[in-house]
Every structure is written in C-alpha cells, then in structure tokens.
Amino acid sequence: MNSHRIVRKLALGSFVLLSSLFPVKSVMAAEKAILSTHADASYAVSFDLYLPIQHRDKLESLLVQLHDPSSPIYQKWLTPQQFHQRFELSENQVARIRQQLSQLGLSVTQVSPRRFRVTGNAASVEHSFATTLMRGKLKSGQSIVAATHSMLLPSSAAEVHAVVVGLSSLTQLRTQSQNLGALKPENRTSGVGPYWFTDLKQAYSFPSVQAFSGKGVTLAILLAGEFVPADMDTYFGHEKLPTPSITEIKVDGGAGISLNSFEANLDLQQSGGMAPGANILFYTAAAWTDESILSALDQIVTDNRADVVSMSFGSPEITYTAPYNDGIDRTNIPQEYDDLFAQGNAQGITFIAASGDQGAVPALPVACLDPATPAPCGSYLPSTMIPASSPHVTAVGGTNLTTTFSGDGTNLNSAYVSEQAFANHLSSDAINFTSATGTLWGSGGGDSTDFKKPVYQFLVSTGNDVNRTVPDIAFHMGGCLVAGDDCRPSDSSDVLIFGGAIIGVTGTSAAAPAFAGLTALLVQRFGHRVGNENYYIYGLAAAQNAGVLKGIFNVGIPGENGLFTTTPKGYNRVLGNGTVNGVNFLLAPGTPAAGIPQTPTNP
C-alpha cells in the first residue's frame, strides 16, 4: 500500500492526488524493536525518573474548586512555585533519592522539581534497578537499549512510587493525520473542500478576526519535528493574512527537518489560521517517544508561558500494558502524563489533544508487532488514546464537512450545510503497514481503561457511569485515504502547504489545533486563562440539552466509529458534545461572524 503510486480522482472535490510526489502513508507507525544482544557493561544508558504528585486527592478537590464559578478561589490559578510547595516532594525527600542514586554509581541531574535525568553505564543501571538491558534496532536502523523485565526501584524512589520513563522496546506514539498527496492549483473544487482555514472559520461561524484574533494569548504546539518557515508564508499569504508570530523552543535539542515536519506545518497552519493574533510557541521534542514528549510537557508546565497547548499525537492506552512491553507493566506512564496535565490545569493551562483517527479500534494486536507472525496477524482492538483520554485534557474528534460551493469558482462562499462522521473501513492496514484486519479511518472515541469518569462528565449522559469517555468535542477532520476503501461523496479534506506544494490532508491532527485556535479566542474573550476547558464545554452542553441555551453545538450528525454511533442529540462516543458554532461557543452572540474567505472579516 505505502509503496504504490496512486493517481485518483474522487467525488470529494474532484481533485487529483499525485501520490507519486507524496505517497499515501502515515507519518508515524507503531513499532517494536528486535532485541538481539545483551548491553555491554560499559554501554552508556540514560532515562528519566519522575517523582509523582503528592496528595493527589487534595489536588483533584482543588481543581474542582478552581473551575467552579461559585467557589471563592474560582480561577485563582497557582504558580509553578505554589504547586511545587503544595503537591511535590519535600527537598529532603528529593535529596535522599538523588544521594542514593549517586551512591549507586549513577549520574543524576535534576531537570525540574519532579524530573531527574539519570545516566550511567549498563552494568550500574542493571545492578541499581535489578533488571537486564538488551540492545536492538528499529526498522529505521535506530539503535535502542531496553529493559527486558520490570525495574525494581532503589528504596528511596520506590517508597514515593517514582516512575521510570525510557528503556522501552516499543515506539507507539503516532501523529493523527494522513498526507493525501499534492493537489492541483485550483484547490477549492467542491462543497466538501479541500478546505483552507478561512473556509472552516466561515462554516463554523468563528467570530470576525476584527473582533477576536487571539491577541494577547499564548498558544503552544507540542510535536517532534521542525516546521518550514517558507511554507508558513505561502500558506497564510494565500488567504491574505500575515504569518503569525511563531517562536520555536527546542526541548533536549529538538528534532530536525523530516517527515515529522508535515505534522508541524499542519498544526501551526491550522491553529495560526484560527487565531492569527496569538503568540505561538512551538515546543519541538527530540523524538516521538514517551521520554521526549513527557520531557517537553514537563518544560511546558515549568515554563508556564502557554495559555493553551495543542497536541496531535497519541498512543492507545492498551499498549502500555505488560503484553506489549516484554512483560513489563508500563501503565504508570499514562498516569505520569495525567499528573503533568493536572499540574497544568492548576496553573490555568488548557490542554487539547486529537482523539485519534482509527475510530474506536486504534490498537494493533501484540502479534502484529512481531514481523514473524503470519498474515493476517490479527484484528485491531478497542482503546482510547493517551493523551486525549486524560480527564485533564480536551479530546477533539472529527467529522466530514459539507459547505456551499459556487460551482464555477466565482466566489468563495463556504457556509455550513451539513456534516457526517462515518468511519471509512479500509481494505488493508494503510496506517501501520501490517497485515492487521479491521482498519478504520474515523473519529477516535470510546471508554478509557486508565481513568475514572471526571466530575464534569456527570453533567451529561455519556453512556458510561464509571470511566472517562472520549471525545469531548469535534471539529472537521475529513476522511477517505485510498480510493475504493469505503469512500463516500461526502468525505472531505483540508489544505496544507508542505515543501512549497499544496497538499490534501485529513485527520484529528487538523481538528485539534483548529479547536485550540478557537480556545485561544475564548481566552481572549474572557481576558484570562480557562484551565480545563471541559468544565466549560460540558456546562454549555448541559444547558443546551436542557433548552436553556441554543445553537452552541451542532448535534444530530450521523455517523459511527466502529463500535459507537452518534445520537440525535446530546453526547456520544464518536463526536462528544458535537461540533461548534464559534460565536455562540464564546457566548458572544452579538459579535459579527467570519464572512466569506479572503474578505476583511475572514482573512
């Protein structure tokens, strides 16, 4: 599939996808390294050790109060220093852990109040953590070293339940988008796109840029990969808009220009288009590993510069269980993600993540990670995705959008007509390139196995009274990866500039940063940070369900994601509470809405 050169014409815009230039393939895929040799005693090893949040029950109680308008401490956000004093280990406890690790022959650098960078030779790590280290390689040729059974922590770290991040043979983080290939220059070709950001702003009734642009708000994008500045100028210039301010922050050295730059361009273009007046921080992690991404998140909450953070990647929760990790239970890693998000919420930071693009079944069976397994290796399994499944993150699902279209290109009117959210059932695994069956392309959603139902989800009926459900909200994502694979005339796409070319793109990786842009407008609208936006979203949804408010969420959108279907009204595990009318979502009904693209209200 990934090596084929496909030229296709689809009803969804009648555009030509020149896959000889840009092959239809995933930017990232799950992969398990083949471990072959025992690490030499002198082999250099490094990993991170995280010190969990203390008094977690008190933190959750505080978070409810910080988001309750009737509370005397409503939105009185903590500083990182205040958070450290209330919910992190004492200096004596931290010093004791550091001293013990040093006595074991390991070098320890305290990167932040809750993170140590630990380095040493393989022999010292094996002795200190009672494990065995093996060396291996990924398909890319990258060498890795991994623990082959659970690491027993030194006593000072074990008594506080510290978390080791790194030394894993599995890379499962992947971006949530698909490169559909180059488009012909006449790219606005139908009522299903492909859409520029200005088309989406008109369709979803974003406020006029003259009213709200995100000015004064800091919006962060977290990814691994560099963006292409020239592509930013081309993209925004096409829609008559200056390129927004983008500041790059390289975490642990960052990552270089690569295929990951596709995702970086996408997220910056979508978020910047929705909030062109915002100050954008681009945090670029060193690699697509939990170790690198958590390091970047730790820096984000420590810096405390961002009001809103958008993330377009994820891993199925199930892939942190022991069967996927050489018998090692790594489910404490999703908990560490959640700890960082909870800290960010206490500081007023809003986190937004793509819910995933493989419907309710995004997880490869364990057997499919072994290249020796005969085909078919198994069928995709249900799971929600971390970070979207964290109760302290707003998970964004996706739809296919239909708008008005002149038919002859004489005007760019893109008014909202309808949406659908039917998953495309793929004939082969065009996502991870395995022989797995049951591959879907559609809005990620389902029931978390790691996190309990948060208090705000009790405001509506989610279909699960015990566990966190995903998504919370939805935006346009598009569909149909390969012609003939369950495609529909109503399948749509977005426009991206990458490598100087106009590219078609689909995925919740487009939906999440677009919604993050709207959230930046929300922060501007209220003049302060909003923290965990789900309290706001579910409060509005409850009011609309009760008939107190109208026209905030577009509901009754037909669709399914493999296990769940949408509902005539209210919440569902395909689209959450629905897509939004931007002006109404901001509770600013008198504000002029964005008009036709490339006009003064919508450049």
**What digits encode the pLDDT tens for the residues 560-595?**
999 999 999 999 999 999 999 999 999 999 999 999
* Predicted confidence (pLDDT) at residue 66 exceeds the cutoff of 90: yes
What's the rounded mean pLDDT across residues 249-266? 80
Q: Where are the domains of the chain?
A: 7-29+173-585, 34-53+88-168
- The C-alpha atoms of residue 58 and residue 62 are separated, in whole angstroms, by 6
Q: Which of 178-182, 355-359, 429-433 has the highest mean pLDDT?
A: 355-359
- Banded model confidence at residue 18, pLDDT cuts 50, 70, 90: very low
- Banded model confidence at residue 258, pLDDT cuts 50, 70, 90: low
pLDDT of 7: 23
Q: How wide is the angle at C-alpha 397 spanned by C-alphas 395 and 401, nearest 5°?
A: 145
Measured from the Cβ of residue 500, the count of other Cβ atoms closer than 10 Å reads 9
> In terms of Cα–Cα distance, which of 304, 294, 306, 396 is closest to 337?
294
**Diameter of the chain by CA atoms?**
75
- 29 touches 433 (CB < 8 A): yes
- Banded model confidence at residue 9, pLDDT cuts 50, 70, 90: very low
pLDDT of 187: 77
Q: Which helix (H) or strand (E) holds 220?
A: strand 218-223
pLDDT of 26: 39
Give pairs for 448-451: CB < 8 Å, separation 24+: 448/317, 448/384, 448/389, 449/317, 449/318, 449/383, 449/384, 450/317, 450/331, 450/334, 450/335, 450/338, 450/386, 450/389, 451/338, 451/389, 451/390, 451/391
Q: Read out DSSP for 394-418?
A: EEEEEEEEEE---SSSS-----EEE
Measured from the Cβ of residue 15, the count of other Cβ atoms closer than 10 Å reads 24
Tokens of 2: 């990934």
Which class does domain 7-29+173-585 fall in?
Answer: alpha beta
Tokens of 292: 């690198």
Q: Which helix (H) or strand (E) holds 92?
A: helix 91-103
- The C-alpha atoms of residue 198 and residue 104 are separated, in whole angstroms, by 58
pLDDT of 20: 32
pLDDT in tens, 349-366: 999 999 999 999 999 999
* Predicted confidence (pLDDT) at residue 22 exceeds the cutoff of 60: no
* Predicted confidence (pLDDT) at residue 28 exceeds the cutoff of 80: no
Rounded mean pLDDT of the chain?
Answer: 92
- 456 touches 534 (CB < 8 A): yes
Percent of the chain predicted with pLDDT > 70: 94
* Predicted confidence (pLDDT) at residue 502 exceeds the cutoff of 70: yes
Q: Residues 6 or more apart from 39 whose CB is under 8 A from it?
A: 45, 122, 126, 133, 134, 135, 145
* Predicted confidence (pLDDT) at residue 257 exceeds the cutoff of 80: no
Q: Read out DSSP for 163-178?
A: EEE---SEE--EES-E
What's the rounded mean pLDDT across residues 599-603? 95
- Banded model confidence at residue 17, pLDDT cuts 50, 70, 90: very low
pLDDT in tens, 226-254: 899 999 999 999 999 999 999 999 999 88
- CB burial of residue 244 (10 Å; 0-12, 13-18, 19+): buried
pLDDT of 10: 28
* Predicted confidence (pLDDT) at residue 12 exceeds the cutoff of 60: no
> In terms of Cα–Cα distance, which of 438, 464, 580, 524 is closest to 214?
524
- Banded model confidence at residue 13, pLDDT cuts 50, 70, 90: very low
What's the rounded mean pLDDT across residues 421-444? 94
* Predicted confidence (pLDDT) at residue 24 exceeds the cutoff of 50: no
State how far Cα 501 lies from the chain centre. Answer: 25
pLDDT in tens, 383-421: 999 999 999 999 999 999 999 997 766 789 999 999 999
pLDDT in tens, 456-495: 999 999 999 999 999 999 999 999 987 778 899 999 999 9
- Banded model confidence at residue 140, pLDDT cuts 50, 70, 90: confident
- The C-alpha atoms of residue 177 and residue 173 are separated, in whole angstroms, by 13
